[in-house]
Chains A and B, each alone.
Chain A
Amino acid sequence: MTEENELDERVRRLAAEYNAPRDVPREAMWARIVEQRQGRQKREGGRVAGWQRPLWRWGLAAAAVLVVGIVIGRATVPEHGAIPPGPAVTPVAVTPTSGTAFRLVAAEHLDRVETFLAVFQAEAQRGAVDSTAPGAARDLLTDTRLLADSPAGRDPKLKSVLDDVELVLAQIAEYRAGTTGKEDLRFIEQGIHQRGVMLKLSAMTPSTIMGQTAQGAM
């Protein structure tokens, strides 16, 4: 199976799980996110914050993400008690590569993009896109392009995702609220869905990006 096929398979699997009926309080979650963002913006005097902060603000947070990505797998929790006493894990073999640093940065960047797009989609659905979103998208776009040109972009899987992300971010960077904004948002949303951007971003976990191989899953 080629790397692209593997990615496709992972995307298909995620797609199948994507809308699985679960009791997730999404509205409450998004309300909380929006509330926190607004609070943060107030505290920071309207300056961009969180995922909108000046970029390349990663570091070994990426490493932490990697470790978490390695450790946390999907546990099959039985319904009738008898919860497995061990941690839910997917053990992996790590193969160090010369591009480890670039891949870590890519993982961190895509994580930030995913967060940004998730919040953007939630705001777009409510018709209240934050005025700083186009600027943040432009920053993310610049980094996306620089990453695509870097050693990280030599990975075809990563390059493909970066290309998709580039178009979506370019459209958001061009977005301006106004009388025609709703239509713009609809097309941005369509782009995200049509290209499966969120699913691909979900599939590009740190362990995927780091080129690790799952040896077994629970």
Chain B
Amino acid sequence: MRPIGFTSVACVATIATLAGSAAGQGIASSRRALAPVPAVIVEHAAAPRASWLAQDPGDSLYRLARNELNAGKYAEAAHHLRELRSRYPRSGYMASALYWEAYALAKTGSSSADRQALKLLDTRARRFPNDRNSDDARDLATRIQAQLAQQGDPTAAAAIAATAGQLAPPAPPAVPGAPQPAPAPAAVAAAAQSAQIGRAAAEAASAAAPALAAVGRSDDGCSDRSDDRLYALNALLQMNSEQAMPILKKVLARRDSGSVCLRRRAMFLVAQQHAADVEDVLLQSARTDPDPEVRGQAVFWLSQVNSPGASAALDSILRKSTDEEIQKKAIFALAQQHNDAATAALKAYIERPNAPDELRAQAVFWLGQRGDLGDVQYLKDLFKRTNSEALKEKIVFTVAQQSHETDGPWLLSVAGDPQQPSSIRKKALFWAAQMHAVDAKQLAAVYDHATDRAMKEQVIFALSQNADSAAVTELIHIVKTEPDHDLKRKALFWLGQSNDPRAAKVLLDVIDE
């Protein structure tokens, strides 16, 4: 092993720190693996990525532990990483070993292991303050704190509350005459475009809290990477929603463009709450957030608030919005609300002749998912009245999923109705057959009355899928009596797939002919 002097290592470390390049990291990494480096140098270096250092004495243990992690053997992985740390304290794997040992310990599920994991991450943060993966380590530490807090650890609970609280720092005092921060262009544009965003939203968009806006802005809206605080807030919501909701509200009240991702995730957290003011929070965001995604999510999550107020708001959004994506979410959310107002709103939309067929069909689908017999009957009635093939097709599909006694015969009646479009009749027959709601004789009757070849083909296929021996009888009948050569050939093909001895005989007869 070639010793490397203090100066060389310090230089390499400095270069790595200043350049921060992958190449620099690699050099530093391999140099450190070769020599026993004074701890002080390591601690102040920008910790290089340290994995698969073949000449590192800890290499074997590290590989073993990573294998065990992959295999879900967390206790063994933690054990071997601990061994690595104790036997090779100068190993180049140290930063990674600390992280993965903490990860493995946290997966073992005991509070003592959690506490040990926190100590390891604390050590890592102190020894490798500039490590490029320090965010991940901080996130993990917060997750572990949350686990401990949820197990009743008061210290961890306090830490979680403090971390979550960082998402909503107190607003700085107003300074008379101080210039207001410029609104983010994207936010202002979005605010101007949306009919639902009124003056309040425009004001909000231009009045992002200066302290938070300073976090940074970027076009993707994710410059505020507050994952650790989000984890803390999530844990706090599950432990003490009264304490957490005000923080969540402040997060959702932010209008700086850098917090868009944060607000989207916060919306997901709000949706899990059952507090009385959740509805207000969601409605507020649906109406005023400058980000269309956040607005859309607010609408989507109103599905979790089963109230006349939410239904009325969703109905209004569905009727007035010109954004089809928002409307789709409103349809979904309405369908999740089990009250008369929501049902009426959905039905009214389905029957709006000037509404896009795609959206009306979605409304049919989600209405049908509720499994209410009255709704299904409504759809069957609508089938008679509507001229929209898209709606008819969706109704057939929706009814077919219900599997009620009356649905099979209804589908069969559609299949046999010459007034209906051929494509709809075929689908109805197909679903009826799939539901095993139609027997071979009924299929044969449809075949006899069918005037178009496509329908007859569908019947032949349906017969082929019917396990009843009577279906083979009908297929044989078609082979013997059908003048259309193609249809006869199709019936023959399916007979050829059958194990019924009568089918084999028919095939032989045909060959002999």
Contacts and interface: CB of A to CB of B under 8 A. Distances in A.
A194 B71 contact: yes
A34 interface: no
A146 B69 contact: no
B128 interface: no
B221 interface: yes
B163 interface: no
B371 A95 contact: yes
A89 B430 contact: yes
A94 B487 CA distance: 36
B29 A138 contact: no
B403 A215 contact: yes
B119 interface: no
Nearest to A147: B268
Interface of B: 22-23, 25-26, 29-30, 49-53, 66-67, 69-72, 96, 99, 103, 132-133, 135-136, 139, 143, 219-222, 227, 230-231, 234-235, 238, 260-261, 264-265, 267-269, 271-272, 293, 296-297, 300-301, 303-304, 325, 328-329, 331-332, 336, 362, 365-366, 369-371, 397, 400-403, 426-427, 430-431, 434-436, 454, 457-458, 461-462, 464-465, 489-490, 493-494, 497
Contacts of A178: 22-23, 25-26, 29, 49
A84 B461 contact: yes
A87 B29 contact: no
Task: Among A89, A180, A194, find the residue whose CB has the most chain B CB atoms closer than 10 A.
Answer: A180
- Most-contacted residue by chain A among B96, B369, B465, B489 (CB, 10 A): B369
A62 B357 CA distance: 19
Interface string A152-191: 0000000000000001001001101111101110010011
A190 B401 contact: no
A60 B329 contact: yes
B403 A96 contact: no
A93 B26 contact: no
A83 to B, nearest CB: 9
Give the interface SS of chain B, mostly helix, strand, loop or mixed. Answer: helix
A39 to B, nearest CB: 19
Contacts of A59: 296-297, 300, 325, 328-329
19 contacts: A60-B325, A60-B332, A82-B494, A86-B462, A100-B369, A101-B300, A104-B332, A138-B136, A146-B230, A146-B269, A149-B238, A150-B272, A167-B70, A174-B136, A178-B29, A179-B26, A190-B67, A195-B70, A195-B72
Contact of A145 (B51, B143, B435): B143
Contact of B458 (A85, A104, A187): A85
B10 to A, nearest CB: 21
Given A60-B325, A82-B493, A82-B494, 18 more contacts: A54-B261, A56-B267, A60-B328, A71-B397, A78-B493, A82-B489, A82-B490, A85-B457, A85-B461, A86-B458, A87-B430, A89-B431, A91-B431, A94-B369, A105-B268, A176-B25, A180-B52, A195-B70
Contact of B493 (A57, A71, A80): A80
Nearest to B50: A180
B301 A101 contact: yes
Q: Which 5 A-B pairs have the closest CB atoms?
A: A183-B52, A60-B328, A82-B493, A86-B430, A191-B70
Given A56-B264, A81-B493, A101-B336, A194 B26 contact: no
Interface in A71-121: 71, 78, 80-82, 84-87, 89, 91-96, 100-101, 104-105
B325 A93 contact: no
Contacts of B230: 142, 146
A33 interface: no
B325 A96 contact: no
A151 interface: yes
A1 interface: no
A176 B220 CA distance: 22
